[in-house]
Amino acid sequence: MSKKDQIDTTKLPKHIAIIMDGNGRWAKGFGKFRIFGHYNGVKAVKTTVEAAAEIGIKYLTLYAFSTENWNRPKTEVDDLMELLVDTIKKETPTLQKNNIRLMSIGNTLDLPEKCYLQLQETIDATKSNTGLTMVLALSYSAKWDIVNAIKNIATKVKNGDILVDNITSEMLDNELSTKGVPDPELMIRTSGEQRVSNFLLWELAYSEFYFTDKLWPDFKEEDLYEAILNYQQRERRFGKTSEQLITN
């Protein structure tokens, strides 16, 4: 039986988040510039989005550009921004055809104007699509998002709209840029690195982590299926005991 056929479609994670890592090393392996890795990373994005949509995943969050990535050499940042604009523009008809909705999280106002406008245009054009929601994390860092959320809550306290004692975790959920998106059940990171790198720190509280040595441009449908199968073998206890899970 193929990996895809082994997946229990009644137990799919609703939301998968991915740290797409290893583009630079992949390019280096071919003696090429880093941008060559990012170009091929886009191919892996296409493959993964289409495979996820096909098996019925509802949300897919991709860490495409972190707040810290602004510190990369200017040529790489410029090339990446260009690639983002071109890809989003070129792929908009495919998103429409596949009923995929685009969303973004992060400080997108920091993006070059051309990139920001194209992003907003595609978000707007796909907003009524009801299939997979693809969430692009752009100029994103979880600490940035959490600090913003705290500022918003503090302002409400200052204005007398809420009492400090009434602050809840749901209130924070609603102030984050991931508002309305369920927390990811599964987080995948490629390239052998095993860290979270300021990605969805709040939302990953109970996620299962899956690490693969594959570099992102080498990530194929089969790798996504493998990660899902691995996830489906895990027992998610949310702080309870195994026995409680059986009796409940």
- Indicate if 69 belongs to the active site: yes
- Which structure tokens are listed for 41? 């990373």
Contact (CB, 8 A) for 149 and 175: yes
CA angle 59, 44, 27 (to 5 degrees): 140
Min dist. Cβ of residue 20 to ligand FPP (A): 5
Q: Is 7 helix (H, G, I), strand (E, B) or coil?
A: coil
Q: Is 40 a catalytic residue?
A: no
- Relative to beta strand 15-19, strand 208-211 is unpaired
Q: Identify which of residues 37 and 149 has a Cβ nearer to ligand FPP in the complex.
A: 37
Write down the least CB distance from residue 88 to ligand FPP, Å. Answer: 6
Phi, psi of 167 (to 5 degrees): -70, 130
**Interacting residue with ligand FPP among 51, 64, 85, 188 (CB under 6 A):** 64
Site for ligand FPP contains 89 (CB under 6 A): no
Q: What angle do CA 58, 62, 65 make, to 5 degrees?
A: 155
Per-state percent for the chain, helix, strand, coil, to nearest 5: 50, 15, 35
Interaction between residue 23 and ligand FPP (CB under 6 A): yes
- The distance of closest approach from Cβ of residue 69 to ligand FPP in the complex, given in angstroms and rounded to an integer, is 5
Interface map 110-149 toward ligand FPP (x if CB under 6 A): --------------------------x-------------
How far apart, in whole angstroms, are the C-alpha atoms of residue 244 and residue 81?
Answer: 49
Is 69 an interacting residue with respect to ligand FPP (CB under 6 A)? yes
Q: Which residues are catalytic?
A: 21, 69
- Binding residues vs ligand FPP (CB under 6 A): 20-25, 34, 38, 41-42, 45, 62, 64, 69, 84, 87-88, 136, 191
